[in-house]
Structure 1
């Protein structure tokens, strides 16, 4: 095998996510990425645990606040529960998640320990049933202060998920923004003739 052929093979394996080449250190087998599924109504931590991932959650903030305009557009201007979490995979920060929960259920969850409990499960325990969700996923780069929380340099590529979850009455219950490190997670979905609807829109 020639050196050119070897380099091409290594580059292809790196493009496929199977190898990681680190300047000055060498070439290493890449750790498999966790999968963020678009075709599930489960919470993020539930999805990852179902894949056999070790997930832990740090609660960074949990209190009632008036939501910003991008949240109030869905939940209204009244006070809602602001829940800020850091998701760690095998002890390493992977996802920053900011969730806003409409009151009265938001107020009822203010003192609930959500570090090891699904937010959707906690909402269901208060008699609110999750019916559907709409989600927009877009590429972005990290900026402060989320970059510091994820222990990454500003400018690191990430996925940002904005999800609005609705109850049986088709009223928004949760507005959620998750910043996902593209270096540790990949996005995956299943397509079927009558299944997931995917729309492509211009970001300009």
Structure 2
């Protein structure tokens, strides 16, 4: 097990090196989902590290969502985790695919209609403005996970309305067909009870805990391009924050 950093950099802590090695074994399937890791003393001896170093590495792996430690039973590999990185401007589906997840999109409806007043306000449009409503369901690894309503105002609505959004990502359509470069987004997330009208779509009981995500995406000139409202299965989700000295990033974690 290597125990040094790169040239000119300080040595990495031993537990971090061990964390990376165990993480790699999990991702390669040496330790499979649901499998118990060897007993801590045996595992530490086989790896040539102290018990304290091993326990530090296991705590870090637990924070990553790769293992779960059960008192009196041992340490178990969790199911694979899919994370939606909120600090990026890629779409949720693109983020999940980048992690190797199987994400399929089912379009439920596409229509041009008057914008609801709340949507018009968030997009900075007039009360009588029209736009494209795109309703989709996202399946992650074959299971319904997200219901998403996206609203796109004119003139972009008419330019993209004929696209097959089960194949063409919405942000890609805006960029290629409208020349609209995405520059920023604001997103608010809160826990809510699943509305009855969405329960059948997500195959969950009405009133189940879900996350409601409301996001407004803007172009380089500050124009609002998309208002998104997503309901995400809260029984399989957690939000993790990585805090650094000068920044913070947020991740969705989807437990299978």
**TM-score of the two chains, using structure 2 as the length reference:** 0.63
- Tell me, what secondary structure is at the counterpart of 1:133? strand
1:82 aligns with 2:133: yes
1:124 is displaced (CA, Å) by 0.4
Partner residue, 2:172: 121
Q: Label 1:132 to 1:193 Cα distance change in 2 as closer, same or farther (>3 A).
A: farther
- Residue aligned with 2:207, SS: coil
Note the residue ranges of structure 2 that are not aligned, 5 or more in a row.
1-61, 69-75, 251-256
Alignment equivalent of 2:106, drawn from 58, 71, 74: 58
Q: CA deviation digits over 1:103-122, x for unaligned, max 9?
A: 11111111101112221111
* Bigger fraction of residues in helix: 2
Provide runs of 4+ in structure 1 moved above 4 Å. Answer: 16-19
Task: Give the structure 2 partner of residue 174 of structure 1.
Answer: 226
Q: What is the rounded CA distance, in whole Å, between the counterparts of 1:195 and 1:133 in structure 2?
A: 17
1:151 to 2:199 alignment: no
Cα–Cα, structure 1 residues 43 and 82, in superposed 2: closer, same or farther, change >3 Å? same
- Asked whether the 8 Å contact 2:242–2:249 carries over to 1, the reply is no
**What is aligned with 2:34?**
none
Task: Tell me, in whole angstroms, the C-alpha distance in 2 between the residues paired with 1:53 and 1:116.
Answer: 16
How many matched pairs? 176
**Cα distance in structure 2, aligned partners of 1:173 and 1:189:** 27
Deviation at 1:41, TM superposition (A): 0.5
Segments of structure 1 that go 5 or more residues without pairing to the other structure are: 1-12, 20-27, 199-204
Q: What is the CA-CA distance between 1:158 and the residue it aligns to?
A: 0.7
Return the TM-score normalized by structure 1. Answer: 0.78
- Higher RCO by CA contacts (8 Å cutoff, separation 6 or greater): 1
Counterpart-to-counterpart distance in 2, 1:40 and 1:116: 22
CA contact (8 A) 2:111 2:134 kept: yes
Report the RMSD for the aligned CA atoms in angstroms.
Answer: 2.3
CA drift at 1:187: 2.6
Give the conservation status (yes or no) of the 8 Å contact 2:241–2:249: no
